[in-house]
Amino acid sequence: MTHDHPAAPQRGVSRPFGRVITAMATPFTADGSLDLDGAALLAAHLVDEQGNDALVINGTTGESPTTTDAEKECLIRTVVEAVGDRAQVVAGVGTNDTRHTIELAAAAEKAGAHGLLVVTPYYNKPPQSGLLRHFTAVADAAGLPIMLYDIPGRAGVAIGTDTLLRLAEHDRIVALKDAKGDLAATSWVTSRSELAVYSGEDALTLPLLAVGAVGVVGTSTHFSGLDTLRMIEAYELGDSAGALALHQRLLPLYTGIFRTQGIILVKAGLAALGLPSGPVRPPLVDATADELAQLRADCAAAGLALPE
């Protein structure tokens, strides 16, 4: 990391998508087809009962690798109709093909989305110049505010700090979902740009707040949304001890939801609560009885009940 960045601008607090955002599961029926009624019900639950300011639809937790473009568009329309008057709907549109990403962004905007989540192109591992070109092309073509998604563990390549700072100059690139796990790199981004940083790892939300993040795009927040909101608000009010106490209580669920691929346990937990979920689509597999039992234990350790 070089230290020859320009002087940091005066940073105001900007939360373009609120504080707590859940990357929503996509409910399916028993035969694996799309459950749009279930999606509307689940979205309403997350907004009205779990304190979410926004929802990401068609993220990885929404099983976007196995939903068709037509299904993605239907999901956005359904969720916008269900909660769009009281929460923002952010559409996951990122792929490893710039042209396809631009097409998905246009479809999401037409379907009523309020913002776009654009992940780093995965598997083909473009260089930083390619990432800059990709994200800029999407932002130029789109008419909605964009949240970049930096997750090198899945994409195979990180968005470099200098690349992020250049992208932050684009009027429509307003936020970053940060799943890099590098607090020093995030500190450079928050100190040298106006990007609103959202934690992309549930368990790192509080540490990231300390270096300038404004919220979380969560997975366990299907169940812990209200308490996570309380944690963020406590930190913002200067109650660092209260925020830490909530972080430590929720940690078993923040980490436990990822004992296997996150959506597997989210859907198991939603089903236990009687909420719309359904099976996962292959190549994912549904939770085993032992995994569900462990999830119940992790929820209990976090002070959250998951019915038998």
* Residues tagged active-site: 149, 177
Degrees, nearest 5: CA angle 280-282-284: 65
**266: its two tokens:** 């989210």
CA-to-CA distance for 193 and 208, rounded, in angstroms?
Answer: 15
Query: How deeply is 195 buried, as exposed, middle or buried, from its count of CB atoms within 10 A (0-12, 13-18, 19+)?
Result: buried
Residue 150: phi and psi, rounded to 5, are -105, 105
Contacts of 248 (CB under 8 A, 6+ apart): none
**306: its two tokens:** 């998951």
Say which residue the tokens 């106490």 belong to.
Answer: 245
The answer to whether 56 touches 22, Cβ cutoff 8 Å, is: yes
CA-to-CA distance for 181 and 184, rounded, in angstroms?
Answer: 9
Shortest CA distance to 239 belongs to which of 248, 231, 228? 231
C-alpha Rg value of the chain to the nearest Å: 18
Alpha helices in the chain (DSSP H): 36-48, 69-83, 98-110, 128-141, 152-155, 161-167, 183-192, 205-210, 221-236, 240-256, 262-272, 289-301
HEC string of 183-211?
Answer: HHHHHHHHHHCCCEEEECCHHHHHHHHHC
Say which residue the tokens 């980490």 belong to.
Answer: 255
CA-to-CA distance for 249 and 245, rounded, in angstroms?
Answer: 6
